[in-house]
Amino acid sequence: MQNIQIILTASSIESGELAGKTAVVIDVLRATSVILTALQNGAKRIRPVQSVQEAIALKSGDNLLGGERNAEKISGFDLGNSPLEYTSARVGGKEIVLTTTNGTLALSRSHQADRVLVAGFLNAAAVAEYLFRSKQPVELICAGTNGEFSLDDFLCAGLIADSLTSEEEMTPNDLVHLAIKTWREAKSDVHQALSACRHYNILKDKGFSEDLDYCLSRDLFRILPVYDPKEGTIRLISC
Amino acid sequence: MQNIQIILTASSIESGELAGKTAVVIDVLRATSVILTALQNGAKRIRPVQSVQEAIALKSGDNLLGGERNAEKISGFDLGNSPLEYTSARVGGKEIVLTTTNGTLALSRSHQADRVLVAGFLNAAAVAEYLFRSKQPVELICAGTNGEFSLDDFLCAGLIADSLTSEEEMTPNDLVHLAIKTWREAKSDVHQALSACRHYNILKDKGFSEDLDYCLSRDLFRILPVYDPKEGTIRLISC
């Protein structure tokens, strides 16, 4: 039986609990969807950083600055937090220095895991297959929004957990059980399932409906981005 | 709009986040069900303590020691953690010194709240009505089991939140939204909803099926137990 746990917010990751595990960082709306899209479209690597100042200090001729504060592009940055901006033409061959409110915090706090994968709906099947093959204990980390639980991340965790459990018999803990159940009820219409949710509606109200459609699309890519805390970068490994 | 939040485990209560709020401690299986039953059956007060040693040090001619470790009665104690033991004949007029693994921890960590109520399925309606009248911000605290999320407590939080939101329009956060949705789907058969859950099955396997039936019964009592951290006791207030 594969050991699967879920953490509900980036801020609730406790030091040490990730040792010996594969951590999967999920920030569907929108940081991990941005990372996946940029790498799929040929970005050389992503360098997640916590602060706007850190990002600006790293600016060079070879890289682009991307990210958000309050879901908006940061003044002076090359790119915002809409994955649709991260086209091949824009990001191909470049390093992206990325700072977001929740996703980059979740990555930074996951450094004690044996391996840190980046996941979203866009690559959920590839991640689930990797996890299943690895047999390692798994911690699915929902980044959440400003320290609060966000249902979009939990649904994606449910999808990944559901894919894992369908391949072998297991007894999940109550939180994994709830995530799977919630995902199964939501999957026929994920937009409807999120229609009363806070972050989803903030993005909708700000005019990011196309981002919502895109970030909630399943398995557009078969890629596995891995975060290396020593290097401070995210790169693809082979599936 | 009444502000409602949910905390998923006793161990994740953060100091300070309860100030200015009414905290509602929920440990359905079984600490809060024991407290409710003992007070309903005439116990003078409950004195929750963290350790077995503390409980033994407080033993006197006028009180009874109750509680559990690993769901079993503690050696030398008068009562275990089955609410069915706390009959009028046994507890009437007595103080109960109670130590359990999760429920008494949740109470002790809630001391910064303006008021701490004790809730379970047994008195959910009385608690919801009190909260609605008070208009204060509410923190529903699921005690959980050994630091882990436990679905039984979350269902009870969902029931209370659902009762509050039916009385006025509100926009809950994603976690409250999920709790209400999960409760609504579970309420026609709560045993079925918990049938794959860890703590529920541990109690079932230990022969506590009658306790499960009892603790999951709704609104047997209209009582409001309040924990006073300065006095260190729980007593009833009028509804």
- Please list every residue in chain A whose beta carbon sits closer than 8 Å to the beta carbon of residue B173: 148-149, 198
- Closest CA–CA distance from residue A238 to any residue of chain B (Å): 34
Lowest-pLDDT range of A84-88, B80-84, B128-132, B168-172 = B168-172
Which residue in A172, A178, A196 is closest to B182 by CB distance? A178
Mean pLDDT computed over every residue of chain A: 95
Side chain identity, residue B125: A
Q: Reply yes or no: is the peptide bond before residue A30 cis, omega within 30 of 0.
A: yes
Nearest to B160 by CA among B199, B134, B194: B134
- How far from the centroid of its chain's Cα atoms is residue A200's Cα? 15
Measured distance CA(A28)–CA(A235) in Å, rounded: 18
Side chain identity, residue B141: I
Please tell me if residue B55 touches chain A, with a CB cutoff of 8 Å: no
Q: What's the confidence (pLDDT) of residue B94?
A: 97
CA-angle at A38, arms to A37 and A39, nearest 5°: 95
Cβ(B18)–Cβ(B110) under 8 Å? yes
- Collapsing DSSP to helix, strand or coil, A135 comes out as coil
Which residue in B12, B149, B185 is closest to A175 by CB distance? B149
Which residue in B12, B151, B174 is closest to A178 by CB distance? B151
Q: For chain A, what is the total number of helices (H) and then of strands (E)?
A: 10, 10
- Please list every residue in chain B whose beta carbon sits closer than 8 Å to the beta carbon of residue A148: 173-175
Q: In what order do the strands lie in the sheet with B115-119?
A: B4-7, B138-142, B22-26, B115-119, B224-228, B233-237, B45-48, B95-99, B63-69, B72-73
Q: What's the confidence (pLDDT) of residue B50?
A: 95
Verify whether the Cβ–Cβ distance A196 to B185 is below 8 Å: no
- Percent of chain B, pLDDT > 90? 91
- The residue of A28, A174, A180, A182 whose CB has the most chain B CBs within 10 angstroms, and thus the best one to mutate to test that interface, is A174
- The residue of B28, B173, B174, B176 whose CB has the most chain A CBs within 10 angstroms, and thus the best one to mutate to test that interface, is B174
Spell out the SS3 assignment of B135-197. Answer: CCCEEEEECCECCECCHHHHHHHHHHHHHHHCCCCCCCCHHHHHHHHHHHHHCCCHHHHCCCC
Q: Quick one: DSSP state of residue A234?
A: E
- Closest Cα in chain A to B179: A178
ipTM of the complex: 0.91
Q: Quick one: DSSP state of residue A28?
A: T
Q: What's the confidence (pLDDT) of residue A4?
A: 94
Residue bearing tokens 């990751």: A13
Measured distance CA(B29)–CA(B107) in Å, rounded: 15
Measured distance CA(A136)–CA(A177) in Å, rounded: 19
The pair of structure tokens assigned to A208 is: 């990011």
Measured distance CA(A110)–CA(A106) in Å, rounded: 6
| Residues B9-65 pLDDT 10s | 999 998 789 999 999 999 999 999 999 999 999 999 999 999 999 999 999 999 999
Q: What's the confidence (pLDDT) of residue A184?
A: 96
> Which pTM value belongs to this model?
0.94
- How far from the centroid of its chain's Cα atoms is residue A2's Cα? 22
Query: Chains A and B: how many Cβ contacts under 8 Å?
Result: 54
Mean pLDDT of A100-104: 93
Q: What's the confidence (pLDDT) of residue B2?
A: 75
- Please list every residue in chain A whose beta carbon sits closer than 8 Å to the beta carbon of residue B149: 173-175, 178
Q: What's the confidence (pLDDT) of residue A168?
A: 52
Residue B23, C-beta contacts closer than 8 angstroms, at least 6 positions apart: B110, B113, B115, B116, B117, B139, B141
Q: The domain containing residue B232 runs over which residues?
A: 2-237
Nearest to B102 by CA among B59, B141, B139, B76: B141
Please tell me if residue A3 touches chain B, with a CB cutoff of 8 Å: no
Which residue in B171, B174, B199 is closest to A151 by CB distance? B174
Please tell me if residue B197 touches chain A, with a CB cutoff of 8 Å: yes
- Please list every residue in chain B whose beta carbon sits closer than 8 Å to the beta carbon of residue A150: 174
Which residue in B149, B177, B196 is closest to A196 by CB distance? B177
Measured distance CA(B79)–CA(B71) in Å, rounded: 12
| Residues A170-191 pLDDT 10s | 678 999 999 999 999 999 999 9
Mean pLDDT of A14-33: 94
Half-sphere exposure of A112 (CA within 13 A, CB side): 10
Verify whether the Cβ–Cβ distance B198 to A173 is below 8 Å: yes
At B169, is the pLDDT very low, low, confident or very high (cuts 50, 70, 90)? Answer: low
- Closest CA–CA distance from residue A180 to any residue of chain B (Å): 12
**How many folded domains does chain B comprise?**
1
Cβ(A25)–Cβ(A8) under 8 Å? no
What CATH number does the domain containing B183 carry? Answer: 3.90.1560.10
Verify whether the Cβ–Cβ distance B199 to A174 is below 8 Å: yes
